[in-house]
Amino acid sequence: MAVPSWLERLRAAGKTALVQDGKRKIHYLFEDGKEMAEEYDMKTGQLISRKWREKNTLGGTGKWQVEVGEPTSPFLGALESELITESSSNPIFMRKDTLSSFQWRIRNLPYPKEVYSVSVEEEQRCCVIRTTNKKYYKKFSIPDLDRYHLPLDAAALSFTHANNTLIITYQKPKEILAAEQQLQKELKKIKAANSGDGDCKTQ
């Protein structure tokens, strides 16, 4: 069974924790040098953001890549934030999970719901958004399923449209729900520094 392998990587990673503004922030450093930063809501345990960073070809630190959360994050530089602001009328694709599902929101899509179709491409391991008016097309993967080596299930996928926003929901498989529950128990054991206490505590 492949599920423990990702959990084992998380357990083996160096971790620091910080509690700030009602959020528990966890920083992971993996053996291969990759870094992952996550933020969780302290009250609900819900994932707010997840970002990745790895060394570039010259051995320096690369840019943070947002997997979950707002694309206009504090990790982005001022120039990138300005570029995002300037193109605010273009569709903005972002992932914002709930406790029971993976969820994506594409803002600035004014077309009615019947224009959209969302499907699973099992061989390519991705989901595809299409529009009958050919105005928007998007392929995206679900990295969590890849990390746990789980298949994509078309029955878990649904979508709705409101306020110029297309909302796509994929129900989390029971294997991931169980793994996330286990991880939350372990993350709570890490002694976290409070904001202003200096360096984060490391496990």
Encode pLDDT of 141-175 as tens digits.
Answer: 999 999 999 999 999 999 999 999 999 999 999 99
Does pTM top 0.85 for this prediction? no
For residue 10, the one-letter residue type is: L
pLDDT at 102: 97
- Average pLDDT (33-55) is 93
pLDDT at 201: 46
In 3-state terms the chain splits into helix, strand, coil percentages (rounded to 5) of 20, 40, 40
DSSP 61: B
Phi, psi of 23 (to 5 degrees): -120, 145
Contacts of 127-135 with CB under 8 Å at 24 or more apart are: 127/152, 127/157, 127/168, 127/170, 129/166, 129/168, 135/111
Q: Name the strand (E) or helix (H) holding 17.
A: strand 14-20
Instruction: Tell whether the model's pLDDT for residue 203 goes beyond 70.
Output: no
Encode pLDDT of 85-119 as tens digits.
Answer: 545 688 999 999 999 999 999 999 999 999 999 99
pLDDT at 72: 56
Distance, in Å, from the CA atom of 53 to the CA atom of 151, rounded to the nearest integer, reads 26
Order the strands of the 157-162 sheet from edge to edge. 92-95, 101-107, 165-171, 157-162
- 190 to each of 30, 112, 174, how far by Cα in Å? 17, 47, 25
Encode pLDDT of 19-34 as tens digits.
Answer: 999 999 999 999 888 9
Structural domains of the chain sorted by starting position, each given as residue range(s) with its CATH number in brackets: 1-69 (no CATH), 90-172 (2.60.40.790)
